[in-house]
Amino acid sequence: MISCDDESLCIFTKNIYLNGLKQQLQVESWGYDSIRIRLSPDVIIQTPDYQALLPEKPIVDKEDCQQLNGNTFINGNIKFIINDDNETWSIQRQSDRLILIQTQSTTFLPYNYPVSVYSPIYTLYKLSLIYTHVQNGYLYGLGQHHYGHNLTLPYHNFHLPFVFSSTAPTNGDITIPWYIHTSGFGFLWNQPGYGSFDVKNDKEIMWTANATHQLDLWITTIPKEKSISSLFYPIIMKNYVDVIGHPN
C-alpha cells in the first residue's frame, strides 16, 4: 500500500519473507531524492530514541512519490525495487537507470541477552546486511580524519568494528556510519550501537549490528537534472545534513 497526505507524505509497506518468516518492510520518502528503509522481523516498525536521523523528516513534494506496482516505490530520482524472490531488493537511480545497490542477504539471528535486570519491550537480534555496488567506483567517508595533508583515501578492502575503543573520538578522529560513492549516492547506517562495516574489492559491502530491533538505513542520490559528471558532492552532503541536522 502507499499513503500520501499532509502528515505522512509517502510511505510504502509490504510483508516480505526471509527464510520463510514474515517480516514487515517500510520504505518512505525522507528528503529530496532520498528514502529511509526499515525492516522488522517482529512486524513492528519502530522510531528509536537514539538515531542519526532527525525525528521529523524534511518536507518534500508528495507528487515526487510514486508506486508503479506492488514491488516498487519512487521518491524523485531514487527507486526502490523488491526483486522477484520477494526477499532481496535493489536501489536504482531513475535518470540513468543505474543500479546503486543490490542486496544479497539480510539476516536476523537471536540475540543472547546478558544477565541483567533490564527487560526490553521488543526482541533484540544480531543483524547482518550484505549488498553489492553493481557499478564501478569508490566510497569515501565513515568519519573525519586528520592526516598530514588532510587527505582522505577511498576504501578498497577495509574492516571497521563499531566498538567503544574505535568509535570514541581519538586524536581528532571520529567514526560516522556514512559514506558517499563516486557514482553519485550516499548511504547512512542508522543503527546506534556496536557492530561492524566491511568492504571488499570496492563492491562487496557488509554491515552488522550486534543487538538491534530492526534494519534502519537511509539512501540519497542526485536529482534528475544533474549528472555524475557535474559537481554532485555538495548536493549529496546537503541532503545528508537536511536529515541529520545542520551545525549551529
> Does the structure show a pLDDT above 80 at 205?
yes
> Whole-angstrom Cα distance, residue 27 to residue 210?
23
> Whole-angstrom Cα distance, residue 82 to residue 90?
7
Using 50, 70 and 90 to split pLDDT, how confident is the model at 3?
Answer: very low
Handedness of CA 126, 102, 32, 69 (dihedral sign): negative
Closest-CA residue to 243 (of 224, 216, 206, 225): 216
92-105 confidence digits (pLDDT tens): 999 999 999 999 99
> Does the structure show a pLDDT above 70 at 40?
yes
What global pTM score does this model have?
0.88
> Does the structure show a pLDDT above 80 at 39?
yes
If one looks up domain 2-244 in CATH, what number appears? Answer: 2.60.40.1760
216-235 confidence digits (pLDDT tens): 999 999 999 888 777 899 99
Cβ(125)–Cβ(212) under 8 Å?
yes
Domain ranges of the chain: 2-244
- The reported pLDDT for the residue numbered 145 is 59
